[in-house]
Amino acid sequence: MQLADLDLNKLYTYADYYKWKFDERVELIKGVVFKMSPAPSSTHQRLASRLHIAIGNYLSGKTCEVFFAPFDVRLPRKTSKDEDIITVLQPDLCVICDPSKIEERGCLGAPDLVVEVLSPGNNKKEIRNKFDVYEEAGVKEYWIVDPVYHTVQINKLEDGKYVPKRALAVGDIATTEIMPGFSLDIEELFKGL
């Protein structure tokens, strides 16, 4: 089966998604198939790698774990049955503090922190669609890293809604309640890019 064989007007579930063996990577957002951008740029990969190393080093020996794409994050709404799950995402990075959510097939439930690095073709999907599903699922923090403007937008869940904080830029330090004591120098993150 090829991606071209799918009826993109149809809604799909994780049960469908799990059977697909495409060369292209896809995500499901509320049952709709979204083709992921082509292989990320070297800048995207450098940023994701720097974030993974910084977060991974901080979390070493702690309960929370950091995972990087491709890693399926299934966001159930009513039940956790494969045929009921209609949103499956592959965030660039996610931090999961509840070990019961981690399975061989990825994460079942909302991660505590999700980080997405923008790519030229995915800005609308990242900002609009993923923002909504991460908020609905209860992801406590959603970071959007912009490699063009060298900013990190931290969206914090408060009373079920994301409250965006001022975009952090060179000269700022990112912190998070998810990982008390963790700090990320924005200038170091983007250095040389």
Residue pair 87/28 in contact (Cβ under 8 Å)? The answer is yes
Give me the residue spans of the domains in the chain: 3-190
For 3-190, which CATH superfamily applies? Answer: tt1808, chain A (3.90.1570.10)
pLDDT tens for 70-114 read 999 999 998 999 999 999 999 999 999 999 999 999 999 999 999
pLDDT tens for 111-141 read 999 999 998 766 576 678 999 999 999 999 9
Looking at residue 40, what is its pLDDT? Answer: 83
Global pTM reads 0.93
Residue pair 125/98 in contact (Cβ under 8 Å)? The answer is no
